[in-house]
Amino acid sequence: MILESFHRRYGNERAVRVFRAPGRVNLIGEHTDYNLGFVLPIALDLACFVASADSSDGRLRIYSEEKKQSREWPAEEVARLKRSGDWSDYVVGVAQELIRAGYRLEPKSLLIRSTVPEGSGLSSSASLEVSSALALLTGRQIPPLELAKLCQRAEVDFVGLPCGIMDQYVSIFAREHAALKIDCRSLENQTVELPDGIEIMAVNSMVKHALGQSAYKERTEQCAEAVAAIRRLDSKVSSLRDVTVPLLEAASETMPKLIARRARHVVTENERVGLFVNACARADLDRMGQLLVESHLSLQHDYEVSCPELDFLVDTAVGIGGVLGARMTGGGFGGCTVNLLREGTGERFGNAIVSAYEGRFGVVPQVFECYPSRGAGEEKNFESIPSSAALRG
Ligand code: GLA
């Protein structure tokens, strides 16, 4: 039980409360969020749990069960801490943003337990940020959109990854049994019911290429370069969100070919989100699957954020009976694929993909069934929190 672990580490501090924030899998709309476009993620039942109690000696203490590491500081020094380059940055970054937004940082002891595999593209960072923020606030109210923006700022400004808002947003706003279409410009969302007769599975390639961080930043710069070129033709354009395929074609000559390809991914991917949502409403499962594959090809060839392991997983998946479509999900360069299957075919799919991947790369991939779960909040049912022994598997 998380409470026992907490008491073992911190003694019998005052009342312990636990806050949960889920990871996510993005169904479609990849690398569109920082272009102010559309995304369609679901939250997972994989989540980060942070147990929290007031500490009586003025210090902030944090402990990660996964890393088996602890950090502590006098609470009043947290505002001045510098980035350390490890997991604690997510908590410190969020604490500093809370302080900047006017929330006093109370001395606390926190214990972090996460079931979201790190580096898997399932948003372990955002789930840590959001659950830590809730734990630091411990019941003090914060408007959910402010929370999402504040956690994103922590990642951009303190951790140093210029990410969009998708991961933090869905971790907070997600609904059970449905996907969330997020407009990353207006920051409004729409619940998208998924049709009956499907299963969603994520497959973790277990690789994390070092290129990921620098390439992510490079992509954001390339998108800005495309916008600058297109604006010379149409001054109303302020992000790739505003660009249509014909406008991009007209502007393509005015930018390097590579930049035009990057922009083509974003522009067509935004369209695919709308098409996918329509296909969901019609319960057109084949079309939904086809759009996932088109998204992958665009990420692979135009945006170039895939890798051989992800391409292998997608190519293999689409040849397995019952698979409607598959694509890489998240930032890329490793992490997971998301797979859309006909209901009842999950087990067969899992076995087939594991043996093919192991045969090719000598690594056993993790396979997760994905059930759209609710967004972040206080977890009162302590029994439902996985034990750390279960995490070690
Ligand atoms: C990462 C970022 C998100 C988003 C995706 C790509 O997960 O954190 O903001 O940009 O990559 O869609």
User: Is 38 strand, coil or helix?
Assistant: strand
Spell out the SS3 assignment of 299-311: HHHHHCCCCHHHH
Exposure letters 174-208 (e unless 16+ CB within 10 A, then b): bbeebbbbbebeeeebeebebeeebbbbbbbbbbe
User: Is 94 strand, coil or helix?
Assistant: helix
pLDDT at position 163 is 95
Provide CB contacts within 8 A for 358, sequence distance 6+: 364, 365
Tokens representing residue 369 in the block? 């069934």
* Cα distance between residue 24 and residue 62, in whole Å: 24
Protein residue whose Cα sits closest to atom 11 of ligand 1? 331
Q: Which residues does the annotation mark as catalytic?
A: 167
Q: Is the dihedral of CA 121, 163, 85, 304 positive or negative?
A: positive
Q: Are 114 and 49 in contact (CB under 8 A)?
A: yes
Q: Are 55 and 109 in contact (CB under 8 A)?
A: yes
For residue 125, the ligand 1 atom closest to its alpha carbon is 8
**Spacing, Cα 116 to ligand 1 middle (Å):** 16
**Spacing, Cα 332 to ligand 1 middle (Å):** 9
**Spacing, Cα 216 to ligand 1 middle (Å):** 9
Degrees (nearest 5) of the Cα angle 194, 196, 201? 70
Q: What is the DSSP letter of 385?
A: S
pLDDT at position 341 is 98
pLDDT at position 389 is 59
pLDDT in tens, the chain (393 residues): 899 999 999 987 679 999 999 999 999 999 999 999 999 999 999 999 999 999 989 999 999 999 999 999 999 999 999 999 999 999 999 999 999 999 999 999 999 999 999 889 999 999 999 999 999 999 899 999 999 999 999 999 999 999 999 999 999 999 999 999 999 999 999 999 999 999 999 999 999 877 778 999 999 999 999 999 999 999 999 999 999 999 999 999 999 999 999 999 999 999 999 999 999 999 999 999 999 999 999 999 999 999 999 999 999 999 999 999 999 999 999 999 999 999 999 999 999 999 999 999 999 999 999 999 999 999 999 888 988 756 644
Pocket lined around ligand 1, Cβ cut-off 6 Å = 30-31, 33-34, 163-164, 166-167, 330-331
Provide CB contacts within 8 A for 71, sequence distance 6+: 61, 62, 88
pLDDT at position 13 is 64
Task: Catalogue the E-assigned strands of the chain.
Answer: 17-26, 38-39, 41-54, 59-64, 69-74, 108-114, 178-183, 189-193, 198-208, 323-328, 334-342, 366-369, 377-378
Strands 38-39 and 69-74: unpaired
Tokens representing residue 328 in the block? 């890489």
The torsion angles phi and psi of 30, rounded to 5 degrees, stand at: -105, 135
pLDDT at position 391 is 63
